[in-house]
Amino acid sequence: MATLHEANFSALDRIHFDLTTLRLFEATAELGAVTKAAERIFLAPAAASRRIQEFEAQFGIPLFERLPHGMALTDAGRALLAHVRSMMHSVARMQDDASAFRQGNMGVVRLAACTSAVLQFLAQDIRRCQDEYPGIKIDLLEANSQGVVEAVTRGVADIGIYESTLGGTELPTQPYREDRLVLAVPHGHPLAKKKRVRLEDILPHEVIGLSEGAALSLALGRLAAQSGQVLHMRVMVRSFHSMAAMIAQGIGIGLMPAKVAELLVGGDRFGTVAVEGEWATRRFVLCHQPAHAMSGSGMAVAAMLATAPRKSSRSGKALRPVSQIAKPASAK
């Protein structure tokens, strides 16, 4: 009778696939069609379809649901996609390390960041990285704060930047930046005439929120609960651009970073009002893979993001990293 160890080894021994199959599986999941995925990675459609079927057969479970107009991942497929992306990331990191040994500071660094950080800070920081390390390519993934931490935890990204109210993480962290929220209001709104607003002024009104997992919406919900008030958030959007469009049409009000509001207020689409309270100052945290899992290129980029001198585009004053402990307090 076979032992458990022998049974596990036998099951693993039956699993055979190559990087082309992994790339095909990932592309099919992203594009929703094996023909489009085959075109992306330069495979014949018939060969691609056969590879997907053989991949599923090895695990003994359907990874895709066949629909009239495409393919959608099953629950099992979504679980395996996370493993496939982790493996692809490991291969890319292996290539990165080999390239670094051959040519010095070369390679690909995958950076995940929340939208607020992308819009306000990262363009400047990535430019500095390019100037300092022209051989390093930065692959930027934009997600909400929760998605950023998940991406780094799963190995999909080397470095992540997220908003600190999300809570703690076991990953190595250090302070990154801070911003200040303002209230964006339609013209003619009762709050538009105020010079400053407090939390209790905001909560009675319809608020345009960001999608599930966004740190800003989660923090606002916690603040409302702590004050014993109800948060009215019937409309949720995926980006500040969409939020601005809703506000401009008078559908509601919204909180966004002051610098983001400056970018989106073109054509005098809506007004902004200062927000009172320490809660309106947000702190961002830089996290990364454990040192033993980081390439030399990744460590170089992480160090530059954390320490590079930064300038305000309007005042010319240096922007310092936030003055808080490296590991953010857990959300309460």
Please state, in angstroms and rounded to a whole number, the distance separating the CA atoms of residues 279 and 179: 11
**Straight-line distance from the first to the last Cα atom of the chain, in angstroms, rounded to the nearest whole number:** 52
What one-letter code names the amino acid at 106? Answer: M
pLDDT, one tens digit per residue, over 230-243 is 888 888 998 898 99
> What is the CATH number for 11?
1.10.10.10
Q: Is residue 319 part of a domain?
A: no
Residue labelled with tokens 């076979």: 2
Same domain flag for 172 and 203:
no
Tell me which residue of 162, 213, 187 sits closest to 271, measured CA to CA: 187
Residue labelled with tokens 């005439």: 193
Q: Is residue 44 part of a domain?
A: yes
- The range of the structural domain enclosing residue 18 comes to 4-80
Residue 18 main-chain phi, psi, to 5 deg: -115, 180
Model pTM score: 0.62
Q: Is residue 332 part of a domain?
A: no
Whether residue 312 has pLDDT greater than 70: no
User: In this structure, what DSSP letter does residue 146 have?
Assistant: H
DSSP notation for 79-98 = HHHHHHHHHHHHHHHHHHHH
What one-letter code names the amino acid at 216? Answer: L
Asked which of 50-59, 120-129, 216-225 is least confident by mean pLDDT, the reply is 216-225
Tell me which residue of 74, 54, 56 sits closest to 64, measured CA to CA: 74
Same domain flag for 158 and 292:
yes
Q: Is residue 323 part of a domain?
A: no
Same domain flag for 236 and 263:
yes
Q: Is residue 331 part of a domain?
A: no
Please state, in angstroms and rounded to a whole number, the distance separating the CA atoms of residues 147 and 145: 5
Same domain flag for 129 and 199:
no
User: In this structure, what DSSP letter does residue 275 have?
Assistant: E
Same domain flag for 165 and 217:
no
Same domain flag for 213 and 225:
yes
Q: What is the mean pLDDT of the chain?
A: 83
pLDDT at 213: 62
Please state, in angstroms and rounded to a whole number, the distance separating the CA atoms of residues 330 and 67: 42
Number of Cα atoms under 13 Å in the Cβ half of residue 40: 17
Same domain flag for 171 and 293:
yes
Same domain flag for 136 and 187:
no
Q: What residues form DSSP beta bridges with 172? A: none
Same domain flag for 49 and 109:
no
Number of domains in the chain: 3
Q: Is residue 321 part of a domain?
A: no
Asked which of 29-38, 201-210, 299-308, 318-327 is least confident by mean pLDDT, the reply is 318-327
pLDDT at 55: 94
Q: How confident is the model at residue 316 (pLDDT cuts 50, 70, 90)?
A: very low
Q: Is residue 195 part of a domain?
A: yes
User: What is the Cα 318 distance to its own chain's centre?
Assistant: 26
Number of Cα atoms under 13 Å in the Cβ half of residue 151: 24
Residue 255, token pair as written in the block: 């909180």
Q: Is residue 189 part of a domain?
A: yes
Q: What residues form DSSP beta bridges with 275? A: 197
Same domain flag for 196 and 245:
yes
pLDDT at 112: 95
Same domain flag for 29 and 68:
yes
Burial of 134 (0-12, 13-18, 19+ CB in 10 A): exposed
Same domain flag for 188 and 164:
no
- On whether the CB atoms of residues 142 and 118 are closer than 8 A, the answer is yes
For residue 305, the tally of other CB atoms under 10 A from its CB is: 26
Please state, in angstroms and rounded to a whole number, the distance separating the CA atoms of residues 300 and 316: 26
Percent of the chain with pLDDT over 90: 52
Domain boundary among 80, 104, 122: 80
> What is the CATH number for 275?
3.40.190.10
103 versus 220: which is more confidently predicted? 220
